[in-house]
């Protein structure tokens, strides 16, 4: 595993190979593969995420370039705007995050991601839907309003007055180690999201060991300690 939020590097002599169509993803994860020494002289062009056309997939991997799509690169076209310009089949109009309320925003046409990783990096779409990652939002053709789940970003809950979350699908999660604290303030966390399979165990306030922080919070459970319960 390489890349990702922690920007994990591959050993010497290997390159980080990302899945095709992951250009628009935030902090994508890839797989370390041996760096190719020689590639066949075959013209099966692919377009990299940085807009460079390589003769074939092997050439792209040898250069350490992530692949956007098969076929030579084409000039990126604009979309949206006052004329509401559409994109070609298989492409979506990606508008800059935070422009939901703008009048006739313009974007760029990008290939629709083929698949998205099993990771929980929630973003709120301009349609008011929480997506598990920017990639999932792009697949749905939704522009991104902001990072984090919808309706509960930075919203406080609990405390002396017993504040509740505005979203009926959110749980109040408290700071680590505050299981027995009285009148503690917490933060609303949207429920129903998919968590990554990464194993970084935490012990919940219910004394159950969860595979990672996301699994605990998505179960509506605050964290007591980092690591498995003892």
Convert the pLDDT of each residue in 6-42 to its tens digit: 778 888 878 787 776 666 566 677 888 887 777 887 7
pTM of whole model > 0.85? Answer: no
Whether 119 has a pLDDT exceeding 80, the answer reads no
**85 and 61 within one domain:** no
* Domain finish residue from 123, 147, 171: 147
Instruction: Name the residue range of residue 109's domain.
Output: 78-147
CATH number at residue 41: 3.30.60.30
Contacts of 230 (CB under 8 A, 6+ apart): 203
Residue closest to 20 by CA, chosen among 62, 69, 76: 69
* Domain finish residue from 32, 54, 70: 70
* Domain finish residue from 116, 147, 178: 147
Strand pairing category for 29-34 and 2-3: antiparallel
**83 and 31 within one domain:** no
Please tell me the predicted confidence (pLDDT) of residue 178: 87
Q: Tell me the H-state helices in 50-132.
A: 57-62
Strands annotated E in the chain: 2-3, 14-17, 29-34, 46-48, 53-54, 67-70, 78-80, 91-95, 106-111, 123-125, 130-131, 144-147, 156-158, 170-173, 185-190, 202-204, 209-210, 223-226
Q: How confident is the model at residue 225 (pLDDT cuts 50, 70, 90)?
A: very high
Residue closest to 61 by CA, chosen among 87, 80, 39: 39
Domain count for the chain: 3
What whole-number distance in Å separates Cα of residue 96 and Cα of residue 144? 7
Could you read off the pLDDT of 62-94 as tens digits, one per residue?
887 878 777 777 655 678 877 888 888 888 888
Residue closest to 104 by CA, chosen among 114, 112, 93: 93
CATH number at residue 183: 3.30.60
**167 and 118 within one domain:** no
Whether 147 has a pLDDT exceeding 80, the answer reads no
**190 and 166 within one domain:** yes
Q: How confident is the model at residue 156 (pLDDT cuts 50, 70, 90)?
A: confident
Please tell me the predicted confidence (pLDDT) of residue 208: 96
Q: What would the DSSP string read from start to end of 28-58?
A: -EEEEEEPPS--------EEETTS-EESSHH
Position with higher pLDDT, 117 vs 185: 185
Please tell me the predicted confidence (pLDDT) of residue 75: 57
**87 and 64 within one domain:** no
């Amino acid at each position: 595993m390489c890349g990702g939020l922690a920007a994990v590097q591959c050993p010497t002599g290997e390159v980080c190979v990302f899945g095709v169509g992951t250009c628009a993803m935030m902090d994508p994860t890839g797989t370390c593969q041996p760096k190719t020494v020689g590639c066949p002289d075959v013209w099966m062009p692919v377009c990299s995420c940085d807009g460079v056309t390589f003769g074939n997939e092997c050439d792209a991997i040898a250069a350490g370039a992530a692949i956007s799509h098969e076929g030579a690169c084409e000039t990126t076209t604009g979309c949206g705007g006052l004329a509401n310009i559409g994109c070609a089949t298989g492409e979506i109009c990606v508008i800059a995050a935070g422009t939901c309320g703008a009048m006739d925003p313009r974007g760029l046409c990008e290939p629709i991601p083929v698949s998205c990783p099993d990771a929980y990096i929630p973003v709120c779409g301009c349609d008011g839907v929480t997506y598990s990652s920017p990639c999932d939002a792009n697949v749905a053709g939704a522009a991104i309003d902001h990072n984090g789940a919808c309706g509960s970003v930075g919203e406080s809950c609990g405390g002396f007055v017993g504040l509740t979350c505005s979203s009926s699908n959110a749980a109040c999660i408290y700071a680590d180690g505050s299981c027995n604290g009285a009148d503690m303030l917490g933060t609303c966390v949207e429920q129903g999201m998919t968590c990554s399979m990464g194993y970084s165990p935490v012990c919940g306030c219910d004394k159950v060991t969860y595979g990672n922080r996301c699994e605990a919070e998505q179960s509506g459970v605050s964290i007591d300690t980092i690591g498995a319960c003892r």
